[in-house]
Amino acid sequence: MSNEVDSVGELLDKVVEIEKNRTKKHHPDAPRAEVVRKGVKMIVPETMGLLDAAKVLVNQAIYEDKEVSVREIFDYPIPDGALAFRHALEERYGVIAFEDYEKQGMFGPVKVKAQSMTVRIGPNQTTQVPWGQVEVPALGGFLVSDSAVRGGRPPFIFSVTGTIKRRYEGEFQALCHDIRLRLAEHSIYRGKAIRVAFTDEDHDSVVVIEPSFLDLSGVKPDELIFESGLGDAIDANLYTPIQHSADCRKAGIPLKRGILLAGPYGTGKTLAAYVAALRAEQNGWTFVYVEKASDLPLAIRFAMNYEPAVIFCEDIDRTTSGIRDAEQDRLLNLLDGLESKSHEMVVVFTTNDLSAISPALLRPGRLDAVINVRPPDAKAAERLLRLYGRHLIPASESLKRAGAALEGQIPAIIREAVERSKLTAISRRPGSTLTLTEEDILGAADSMRMHWELLTPPQRDDRSDIEKAASIIVGVNGAAH
């Protein structure tokens, strides 16, 4: 019986070889019938003889045994895609080993060595991702972790290329589905606070986007002190959508919002954003710190992969001031919702000069809230004094006069007043336990008056040249009389 089986096997091998040679010479794309793999029975059409059926199967076997090139592009940064690729391979096929390979270069084949790539996965945390070619027996060939570009120009995004047997194309698509699923559910960046640059100092596109993670361990929400109405506005417009997303969705409140924090330098706008980053991580939102305002359109598209997301961009007036151009139009279209209408995305801008913001940006629908972040009033200054003085200021010590003296000063000035008051206290009461009184703080604040006057920006003079000249003439004539 075994000899008979061997003979049948040898005969089938010969038939396959003959058919291969025949199709190569005469019929490179020989006609085939559809072959469906289902159940355990082999079903042959009633009108087809067994020899014809065998011929169809042979042609199908030859067709499926051919090698084909495959390529799949993932619109994600290379580090994110490479790690997802590694995990997907390990989950489907077990241990994997990347190896050297050749690819076609400009002047012929180029040898590419397998290498490891360091990927940041958190603040001060990295992992190694193999980068190169991996043999995948389950696909009858190999795959390569690779890069691609969108629209023919950087930045590069992740892709998978390779050569496999045609019959495994479905398996390759299943692997790609696993990669996409992992990127959607277990991305390195989803739900994290990251900083991203899309262009360099010369405004050229960054070749490879490598987000870095923000270290939020030093962010203290209790140091974010504003006058009561201002604090309520920031809480309602910025923090509530992040912390109570489910309630907002239930109430039909869109989570696509634009917020402008306007006010002088040092009033707490950036700290408010870092508190938003902390609350974003705590509530499953991604926080994207955009290094340059000109990168904002790219950052919005980037964040769409990781929503719900907060995008924070300082000094937006650098992009939106001046004559309206194509770059401004691109940004305004994104904010209008033409491309991001259904996305859950809170875009936060800051500016130190509200008058420099283009009126087109301030239009309702592009910005949902414009919040004037003012320096602390007397009560907020008093609270900041107690915060910075902590246990050194007795709870019974009144700080009303000190709060009034420091009203309108930025938190950094108030903090420095507390630090200087410690020196004042030591000089007044050497050798005693250090405590701070209101008089110590008032003395320190008085010594800083010249300092903070230097920090106060000059008043902007918007008068015309004729008005300025007229005031000078009036002043001269007045002095003459």
Residues 216 and 311 in one domain: yes
- Alpha helices in 66-125, H assignment, sequence order: 78-93
Per the structure, the count of domains in the chain is: 4
Least confident range of 8-12, 173-177, 361-365, 407-411: 8-12
For residues 401 and 242, give the distance between their C-alpha atoms in angstroms, rounded to a whole number. Answer: 38
Residues 406 and 259 in one domain: no
| Domain CATH for 105 | 3.30.310
Residues 101 and 182 in one domain: yes
At residue 2, does pLDDT exceed 50?
A: no
Q: State the pLDDT at residue 315.
A: 84
Averaged pLDDT, 396-412: 93
Instruction: Supply the range of the domain harboring residue 61.
Output: 2-65
For residues 147 and 245, give the distance between their C-alpha atoms in angstroms, rounded to a whole number. Answer: 36
Q: State the pLDDT at residue 467.
A: 59
Averaged pLDDT, 23-44: 64
- Residue 457 preceded by cis peptide, ω within 30: no
Going from the C-alpha of 425 to that of each of 64, 230, 290, 440, the distances in angstroms are: 87, 33, 43, 6
Residues 42 and 149 in one domain: no
Assess if residue 464 is contained within a domain. no
297 exposed, middle or buried (CB, 10 Å; 0-12, 13-18, 19+)? buried
Residues 326 and 383 in one domain: no
- Residue 430 preceded by cis peptide, ω within 30: no
Of 386, 384, 329, the residue nearest 361 (C-alpha): 329
Assess if residue 60 is contained within a domain. yes
Q: State the pLDDT at residue 23.
A: 56
Q: State the pLDDT at residue 1.
A: 43
Give all strands of the β-sheet with 133-136 in edge-to-edge order. Answer: 67-74, 153-165, 141-150, 133-136, 98-99
**Mean confidence (pLDDT) of the chain:** 83
331-387 residue pLDDT tens: 676 666 645 567 899 999 998 888 877 777 777 767 888 999 999 999 999 999 999
Residues 336 and 245 in one domain: yes
For residues 343 and 334, give the distance between their C-alpha atoms in angstroms, rounded to a whole number. Answer: 11
Residues 158 and 287 in one domain: no
Domain boundary among 347, 372, 397: 372
Assess if residue 206 is contained within a domain. no
| Domain CATH for 431 | 1.10.8.60
Assess if residue 198 is contained within a domain. no
Where does the pLDDT of residue 78 fall: very low under 50, low under 70, confident under 90, or very high at 90 and above? very high
At residue 463, does pLDDT exceed 70?
A: no
Of 204, 357, 169, the residue nearest 295 (C-alpha): 204
Assess if residue 422 is contained within a domain. yes
Residues 365 and 250 in one domain: yes
CB-CB contact of 272 with 238 (8 Å): yes
Contacts of residue 340, defined as CB under 8 A and 6 or more positions apart, other chains included, come to 256, 300, 304, 334
Assigned token pair, 267:
């009033």
Residues 339 and 430 in one domain: no
- Give the helix, strand, coil percentages of the chain, each rounded to 5: 45, 20, 30
pLDDT over 70, % of the chain: 78
Domain boundary among 13, 43, 65: 65
Residues 283 and 326 in one domain: yes
At residue 169, does pLDDT exceed 70?
A: yes
pTM: 0.78
Contacts of residue 454, defined as CB under 8 A and 6 or more positions apart, other chains included, come to none
Assess if residue 168 is contained within a domain. yes
Domain boundary among 354, 372, 390: 372
Assess if residue 316 is contained within a domain. yes
Q: Please tell me which residue, 361 or 320, carries the higher pLDDT value.
A: 361
Contacts of residue 310, defined as CB under 8 A and 6 or more positions apart, other chains included, come to 242, 276, 277, 280, 285, 286, 287, 288, 345, 346, 347, 348
Q: Please tell me which residue, 331 or 262, carries the higher pLDDT value.
A: 262
Q: State the pLDDT at residue 338.
A: 45
Least confident range of 40-54, 279-293, 344-358: 40-54
Residues 253 and 109 in one domain: no
Assess if residue 86 is contained within a domain. yes
Residues 316 and 400 in one domain: no
| Domain CATH for 232 | 3.40.50.300
